[in-house]
Amino acid sequence: MTFPARQLYTVPLPGYGMLRLGDRCLLMGILNVTPDSFADSGLHLDPDDAVASALQMEADGADVIDIGGESTRPGADPVSADEELSRVMPVLNGLHGRLGVPISIDTSKADVARAAIDAGAAMVNDVSGLRHDPSLAGVVARTGAALIVMHTRGSSKTMYAEADYGDVVAEVIDELRGSVRTALEAGVPVERLIVDPGVGFAKRPSHSYGVLARLSEVASAFDRPVLAGPSRKSFLREAVGGRPAPQRDWGTAAAVTAAVLAGAHIVRVHAVAEMAQVVRVAEEIRRHQP
């Protein structure tokens, strides 16, 4: 058995120099500071608890911390930029000067991204792929932050209704190209872009498994680093016996292994300490292929 080659990239990050991607798969730790997260039910809503959790994630092996103040689970209600900022800014301020790894802000709003970058975030993770607020791309271009563009369709309330594909990977690639084009036209240098095929977003379980199985095709289509985010998502539910999100880490481990073997540059996870072990073992398997 052989696995696809993983290309090497360096992504410039303000305040952090170069983020090297490809030597090994990096871990992005998820820090949701929302009351309605599907995976942790508001566990990190208190700013002091969130700061402590971020520091623990770094100690457990996280290479990036992704902080989000608006739930993107299916059916979630949108929140205003002011509400989102009220959740993330105390955490960003509390982490200032204390965290040795880059911070990513998980937002689709230009105003939130701008404030977060001013407070030290070096990456923007936009799950809407610049479809919610195209002006976000201009903020990224002007500030020098890196940008993750993810594939989805519709809103959190309509995404499953739009999960209709012929060839899911081909269509994801085609639609992601639109997001990349929006970023480039706004002045974001290509070397700052990372693509995410959006496992679990506007996709039925069969679509998400198909994307994971063909992840290398996404990397080849863009010649950019690829992020995969399967952690605890609902596409795993049936395979793990209907368990709720907080009990899906074993299923997540299998999906993370598949992503690493397929050549993912970053995996986005909740259980950092556990998934750090999973990634290290998967990397050893890659290293020992003929």
What integer pLDDT is reported at residue 46 of this predicted model? 87
Angle among Cα 66, 182, 157 to the nearest 5 degrees reads 60
With a CB cutoff of 8 Å and minimum separation 6, the contacts of 45 are 33, 34, 35, 87
**Is residue 234 scored above 70 in pLDDT?**
yes
pLDDT at 146 over 60: yes
Give the pLDDT band (50/70/90) at residue 156. Answer: confident
- Residue 71: the pLDDT is 83
The pLDDT value recorded for residue 36 is 57
Q: For position 239, what pLDDT does the model report?
A: 96
Q: Note the pLDDT of residue 42.
A: 57
- β-strand partners of 105: 67, 124
CA-nearest of 22, 21, 3, 2 to 11 is: 21
Q: For residue 203, indicate whether it is catalytic.
A: no
CA separation for the pair 236, 183 (Å, rounded): 32
pLDDT of residue 85: 97
Residues 260 and 284 sit within 8 Å (Cβ to Cβ) = no
Q: Which residue has the higher pLDDT, 76 or 185?
A: 185
pLDDT above 70: percentage of residues in the chain: 96
Q: Who's near 172: CB < 8 A, 6+ residues apart? A: 151, 197, 198, 211, 218
Question: pLDDT value at position 157?
Answer: 79
Which one is catalytic: 268, 280, 286, 287?
268
**Strand 9-13 relative to strand 193-196: parallel, antiparallel, unpaired?**
unpaired
**What integer is the mean pLDDT of 97-111?**
97
Q: For residues 174 and 216, what is the distance between their CA atoms, to the nearest angstrom?
A: 15
Which tokens hold the place of 44? 């990190």
pLDDT at res. 154? 87
Could you tell me the pTM of the whole model?
0.95
* 3-class secondary structure per residue, the chain: CCCCCCCCEEEEECCCEEEEECCCCEEEEEEECCCCCCCCCCCCCCHHHHHHHHHHHHHHCCCEEEEECCCCCCCCCCCCHHHHHHHHHHHHHHHCCCCCCCEEEECCCHHHHHHHHHCCCCEEEECCCCCCCCCHHHHHHHHCCEEEEECCCCCCCCHHHHCCCCCHHHHHHHHHHHHHHHHHHCCCCHHHEEEECCCCCCCCHHHHHHHHHCHHHHHHHHCCCEEECCCCCHHHCHHHCCCCHHHCHHHHHHHHHHHHHHCCCEEEECCHHHHHHHHHHHHHHHHCCC
Domains present along the chain, CATH in parentheses: 9-287 (3.20.20.20)
Residue 130's nearest CA partner among 189, 191, 185, 71 is 185
State the average pLDDT over residues 62-69: 97
Residue 39, pLDDT score: 52
pLDDT at 73 over 80: no
Average confidence score pLDDT of the chain: 94
**CA 276/CA 273 separation, integer angstroms:** 5
pLDDT tens sequence across 171-190? 999 999 999 999 999 999 99
pLDDT at 53: 96
Residue 160: the pLDDT is 87
Percent of the chain whose predicted confidence (pLDDT) is above 90: 88
pLDDT confidence of residue 158: 85
Catalytic residue (choose from 6, 233, 248, 286): 233
Residue 94 has pLDDT above 70, yes or no: yes
> In the beta sheet, which residues pair with residue 63?
none
In tens, the pLDDT along 7-65 reads 999 999 999 999 999 999 999 999 999 885 555 555 667 899 999 999 999 999 999 99
- Residue 28: name the closest of 275, 222, 277, 282 by CA: 275
Give catalytic status of residue 268 as yes or no: yes
Between 203 and 1, residue with greater pLDDT: 203
Tokens representing 148 are 């993750």
